[in-house]
Amino acid sequence: MSYTVKSGNLGYPRIGGQREWKKAIEAYWAGKLDEQQLHGQLTEIRLHNLRKQRDQGIEIIPVGDFTYYDHVLDMAAMFGLVPERFSYSGGEVSLDTYYAIARGNKEAPASEMTKWFNTNYHYIVPELGGRKPQLTINRPLVAYREAKEKLGIDGRPVLIGLYSFLKLSKGFNEATEWDHWVEQLLPLYVQVLQELAAEGVAWVQVDEPSLVTSVSAEDITRARAIYETIQRKAPEVSILLQTYFEAVDRYEEVVSLPVAGIGLDFIHGLDGNLAALRKYGFPAGKTLGAGMVDGRNIWRTDLYRQKQLLLEILEVAADSEIIVQPSCSLLHVPVSAKQEQTLVPVLRDALSFAEEKLDEVAALSAAVSTGIDSVKGLFESNRIALDNLAKDPARNRANVAAAVGKIASEPASRGSEFAIRRKKQKEKWHLPLLPTTTIGSFPQTAEVRSARQKWRKGEWSQEQYDSFIKEHIQQWISLQEEIGIDVLVHGEFERTDMVEFFGEKLPGFAFTKGGWVQSYGTRCVKPPVIYGDVDFDQPMTVKETEYAQSLTNKPVKGMLTGPITILNWSFVRSDLSREQVAYQIALALRKEVEALERAGIEMIQVDEPALREGLPLKREDWAGYLDWSVKAFRVTTSTVRDTTQIHTHMCYCEFHDIIDSIRALDADVISIETSRSHGELVHSFEEHTYDLGIGLGVYDIHSPRVPSVEEMTSMIDRALQVLDPELFWINPDCGLKTRGVDETVKSLKNMVLAANQYRAKESLVGTK
């Protein structure tokens, strides 16, 4: 039996195959391109992306998913939701104001940035305040016209749904002001859709990913009210209400919303969505967008298996039109695997990036529409590639499997409780009140990057490169001493990325040549690929840290990336559970911690900025994830002496949600990225006691502005209203790798001045 299905896409990587997008925007920021030139270059990238999707046989192509920085910021700007501190007076938001919201400027700090659900992408959080929203420009309409006029593509405009937009925003009380903001924004959504309908747009993709989180009955009522109004006031346009990243909560109620189609994730939400589909069916006459290809990972699709799944879906939803599509936007994967020719063949052949995933979408659609013979070649090559990968010796290391099998009996707690360790560490280190430190990295200048490239290309010998790194370590140890910082770092000049550096040295990892993905703004990362069993080979950080410590009498922290962050910031093999892979990494890192301690490095920071990022989207699944995440961290850090001080670092998160788990890490000191949301996090400590060492970031490193001493002292004052000064540390909110040298030095001098002013003000100068 044959079926009629269509192939569709939900979004495409913005950055370009060679990161042209990033380079153009950064050139504009640097004054090397004017605004017209920037528009020209980004238009070329945008049109290339659309042509690519059309030429690969994708029938339903999204338009409006492209952005100049962030798609959530685009929605806020479209509605004129510009924070008052940016002196916006209405009308279309200028490019300079747009980028100021994202990055800050000399007059105003940037808006908060946080995770896009449980992905490695970050969005700019909309701030809802006193300003009345207005439609400044119909961005989806502009995108639709461009695609049709320049390429003849009748695209499907994309926008974030009102329900999710409000859930992702801040600055309003959801319990009391939800209806107010719906009243303000819903007419603007209706206007956007009415103008699209007048243009001849048939379908609009409205993304509602918040519907896959834990959704209450009140939330469903809210969503229904929104879509009933839209259906009544803009009936000419058909809406595909698109969900992704998990199974929808309250399936029956979601699929009955008054929209023409529902998009479901049958990869990351497979179990829940498929079970609900089997139990409740699918509404006749509605279109089902079936997410059949993983939009978040880089492995080839098992096409034979997915074809069978698709056939089952087709049987259940026999009276519906089906669109085969990725599980989510392809923004989360690299552009093309074609340039990965240097990888070992067994790995290279198993990769599927955005381009390859579009081929898989088209092949699945064709296999059930016209028969498998037309795409038999791709089906067979996928099967062979995945079989070869499964048999590869790198995935079958007996020693690693045995070690993970014994994890239940491995040490997973420190020898003494914190109070005992703290006393011993106080006697050992003699630090002042409010000790100052940094998070780990210092500016990676063009000179540093150039030196690394020369070494990688073989133009520099290992000796030349080591000498260069030593010079920079020496320079920055001296600078830190001159500034007056209490606990120093070596600066991480030998490291490209905090995960990549360790992955390059651990068996089981591989690295792509062009596997770049957008992390936030123009910050692109090249995640490691965990394709085999992770093992420890030799010390990774001892040489540079030991050298730095030899230059000073002050303590120098050893700097490691924690097992959960390495896991969450990598593309992970899909044949093992994430928990099993986390334990493999933890056991390998433990050996590095022990090597640092043997070398005399007795302050060791194991960063876990991505711990909360990996939280499941449904609250009922949190406990299991947090249990094994905490255990993996403690497996890494539990074998050191009481006098060895374990630090960790986290990015800002809803701290109160996981404070028990953060305390359970049992780190002697935790530093938290909080400067953009400092007051909100401090409020958490008014409700929850935290009795271990802690440093709240006193300035925002993501902004090029140099904060004043007064700004930092106000943050310190606010924090110490609820935190014990005896346990409080002063630090920037994150690493300084992306900042300039001059601004870094000025900011750190102000930070130390702020600490000294507080010590003097309280007459508490001295040692703990």
How confident is the model over 104-139, as pLDDT tens digits? 998 899 999 988 999 999 999 999 987 799 999 999
549-568 residue pLDDT tens: 999 999 999 999 999 999 99
Split at pLDDT 50, 70, 90, the class of 677 is low
pLDDT score, position 681: 63
3-state secondary structure of 536: coil
Annotated binding site for L-methionine: 439-441, 492, 607
Element (H, E) at 623: helix 622-637
Q: What mean pLDDT is predicted for residues 340-353?
A: 96
pLDDT tens by residue, 52-71: 999 999 999 999 999 999 99
Task: Please give the pLDDT value at position 654.
Answer: 61
Residue-level pLDDT at 766: 45
Read off the DSSP letter of residue 301. Answer: P
Name the pLDDT band for 652 (thresholds 50, 70, 90). low
Annotation says 702 is catalytic: yes
Does 678 score more than 60 pLDDT?
Answer: no
Question: Whole-prediction pTM value?
Answer: 0.88
Token pair listed for 426: 């106080």
Q: What average pLDDT score do residues 192-208 get?
A: 98
Tell me the per-residue pLDDT of 447-500, one tens digit each, with 9 for 90 and over.
999 999 999 999 999 999 999 999 999 999 999 999 999 999 999 999 988 888
Give the confidence band of 655 by pLDDT, cuts at 50, 70, 90. low
DSSP letters spanning 270-300: HHHHHHHHHHH---TT-EEEEEEE-SSS-BP
Poorest-pLDDT segment among 243-257, 618-632, 677-691, 718-732: 677-691
- Kindly indicate the confidence band of residue 690, based on its pLDDT and cuts at 50, 70 and 90: confident
* More confident site: 356 or 711: 356
User: Do the Cβ atoms of 499 and 565 come closer than 8 Å?
Assistant: yes
Indicate the SS3 state at residue 599.
coil
Beta bridge partners of residue 559, listed in sequence order: 605
Average pLDDT of the chain?
Answer: 93
Q: What is the CATH number of domain 400-761?
A: 3.20.20.210
Which helix H or strand E contains 22, and what residues bound it?
Answer: helix 20-29
Q: Quote the CA–CA distance of 246 and 588 in Å, as a whole number.
A: 31
pLDDT of residue 309: 97
Of 71, 268, 332, 702, the active-site residue reads 702
Q: What is the pLDDT of residues 394-427, one digit of tens each?
A: 999 999 999 999 987 777 889 899 999 999 999 9
What is the rounded distance in angstroms from the CA atom of residue 91 to the CA atom of residue 239? 28
Burial of 654 (0-12, 13-18, 19+ CB in 10 A): middle
Q: Taken in order 748, 753, 758, 762, is the CA torsion positive or negative?
A: positive
Per-residue pLDDT tens digits for 579-624: 999 999 999 999 999 999 999 999 999 999 888 888 899 999 999 9
- At 318, the pLDDT band (50, 70, 90 cuts) reads confident
What is the predicted pLDDT for the residue at 261? 98
Residue numbers belonging to the annotated binding site: 19-22, 115, 439-441, 492, 523-524, 569, 607, 613, 649, 651, 673, 734
Give the separation between CA 629 and CA 648, rounded to whole angstroms: 14
Q: How far is CA 145 from CA 57, 60, 156, in A?
A: 21, 15, 11
Domain ranges in the chain?
A: 400-761
| 29 pLDDT above the threshold of 90 | yes
Closest CA to 693 of 670, 714, 675, 721: 670
Cβ atoms of 545 and 601 closer than 8 Å = yes
Counting residues of the chain whose pLDDT is more than 70, the rounded percentage is: 96
700: confidence class by pLDDT, cuts 50, 70, 90: confident
Q: What is the pLDDT of residue 609?
A: 86
Confidence (pLDDT) at 497: 82
pLDDT tier, 72 (very low <50, low <70, confident <90, very high otherwise) = very high
Query: How many Cβ atoms from other residues are within 10 Å of residue 302's Cβ?
Result: 17
CA atoms within 13 A on the CB side of 664: 16
The answer, yes or no, to whether residue 765 has pLDDT greater than 80, is no
